[in-house]
Chains A and B, each alone.
Chain A
Amino acid sequence: MKRTPSEQRIIELLAPGALCRDGFLGDDHRELQEILDADRATVEALGLTHRDIAAALDDACRAAMAGLEAPVHLTSGNLVAEFHDAMGFIPSPWGEGKLFAKGEVVVTDPATGDRLVYTPLSVHLIGKHGFYQGRGSPYRLDPARVARLFGLGRRASNLDTTSGKET
């Protein structure tokens, strides 16, 4: 597949060691566009938009950050969020001149044990670019899993999270 110079640059920045140790693609050998398309299909099947999902993640991230590393009970649902601080910033692989605080958000449903781990950069990549990271990436967020945890969209529990198709 031919790539434009800007696409090639993004691919290089998504690789391990470019901006972070593990990169953003994990062991996913699909082309970036295929990853984006598959996750977009999942999001559409849920009746959601990337912005809907990013907004839920962002709310939890902001609440967790305000807790200064202590666990915070989210107002929506029975979820608990924690922010694990790390010093410094990381830029977006899309190179938009924005820097994002390093550190991890951990959102847990104590009733089920379901847990999501992501970063402030993850929120931006989803909201702005529809990029949920490749399979095997430490911060890969499957849209259906996010939707299920936050209670977003329709029939979230009936989705095959691998293909994004309804089962």
Chain B
Amino acid sequence: MTSVLPIILAAAAACAVTTSLAAMLMLAERYLVKYGTCRLDVNSSDRVIEVKGGKSVLESLKAEGIFVPSACGGRGTCAYCKLKITEGGGPVAPTELALLSEQELSENVRITCQVKVRNDMSLVVPEHLLSAGEYRGVVERITDLTHDIKNLRIRLVEPKSIKYQPGQYIQLEAPAYGSNPEAVFRAYSMSSMPDEDDCLELIIRLVPGGICTTWVFTMLAEGDEVRFNGPYGDFHLSETDREMIWIAGGSGMAPFWSMVRHMAAHDMARKTTYFFGAVRARDLFLVEELRKLDQHHEWFTFVPALSAPADEDNWDGETGRITDVVDRHVSDGSQAEVYLCGSPGMVDAAGRVVTAKGIPPERIFFDKFG
């Protein structure tokens, strides 16, 4: 026993020294190391910004008004904030390795919340992110659309207007509350018309346990100030005259409610059939408004469907899963474009159906976020 004790003591001492050194290095990195001013060259000198080194690329860009979408708040888990860092990114951190494919690594794609600005860097930022801004607004109205879907109308305060295309989305900030220690951002498509540029409307479905939707459903009130950034996304009407097939469910309604009214207001008479799926009548919303548009515009057809209507629903419309309804209605889609918005499962299932109808992948546009 006496001969083992010195070994244990020596091992404990070595552990203590190693731990202390690691802690000192971390503290030194945090409080003592000064990286000075670093230059971030965006898109081959389209924009050059100077930032104080030491923060992550994601935070540094945000401070300069370049908002890169992130679902996990910079914790290095969601992998949304990927950008190409062509120079100065340094070695790839272990936390990034699990989030990047071999191809992405070979193309210098990085997880920007995990890359610290320590020196000058060159970055490639998609154009649509450069045009996004930060906004402040006031909740003008909250309306129940169904038992678990609300419409949120926000009047802009600063800046006072926003430009976007129907189908694009913003990131709404839910502030810290309760046991949620930090603000989080969640993406929602605009359901409003871009012509009304001093207001935004969002269609938000309650996510069980969701940080942002719980805040919207239980705490947010009319008159409250909100913050958001955007617009983002390339899910918008193409510049062709092709016939369109839209398929959505739940809050996937949002971009299409914006698109159809935009098309009507601008006399864009593109043949469009909109398939909207729900389980029961209580899950449907905006049906009367869409039926009116259907009656007034020859180019627009609205097909709501219920997959499991109850007797008391008195439903005499289409029944079945929305993918089965599309399958019955569309005989040849080879010349059409398809737009899908809904949950990942719905989007994937609808994608398979329209592919079987002869629609090539390059003409299938989707938004899995709504």
Chain A residues in contact with chain B, CB under 8 A? 12-13, 15-23, 65-71, 83-93, 95-97, 99, 101-104, 138-139
Contacts and interface: CB of A to CB of B under 8 A. Distances in A.
* Interface range, B side: 35 or more
Interface in B169-186: 176, 178-182, 186
Contacts of A87: 205, 207, 250-252, 342-343, 368-370
A67 B345 CA distance: 9
10 contacts: A17-B176, A68-B249, A68-B307, A69-B279, A86-B207, A87-B252, A88-B71, A91-B77, A99-B78, A139-B209
A92 B72 CA distance: 10
Contacts of B338: none
A65 B347 CA distance: 11
Interface stretch (B37-45, B92-100, B129-137, B222-230): B92-100
Nearest to B96: A97
B208 interface: yes
B307 A69 contact: yes
Nearest to A71: B308
B79 A99 contact: yes
B77 A68 contact: no
Interface of B: 71-72, 75-79, 95, 98-100, 176, 178-182, 186-187, 205-211, 214, 249-252, 277-279, 283, 307-308, 321-323, 342-346, 349, 368-370
Contacts of B187: 88
Given A66-B349, A87-B343, A95 B307 contact: no
Contacts of B283: 69
B72 to A, nearest CB: 6
Given A21-B180, A21-B210, A88-B71, A97 B346 contact: no
Nearest to A91: B77
Contacts of B214: 21
A103 B368 CA distance: 13
A116 to B, nearest CB: 14
Task: List the 7 closest A-B pairs by CB distance, nearest first.
Answer: A17-B180, A97-B99, A70-B307, A65-B345, A91-B77, A16-B179, A85-B343
A54 to B, nearest CB: 18
A23 B368 CA distance: 24
Given A17-B178, A95-B95, A88 B72 contact: no
Given A70-B279, A91-B71, A20 B99 contact: no
A129 to B, nearest CB: 13
B323 A68 contact: yes
Contact of A18 (B75, B99, B249, B322): B75
B72 A97 contact: no
Contacts of A66: 345, 349
A38 B211 CA distance: 29
Contacts of A90: 71
A91 to B, nearest CB: 4
B307 A21 contact: no
B119 to A, nearest CB: 24
A134 to B, nearest CB: 14
Contacts of B178: 16-17, 21
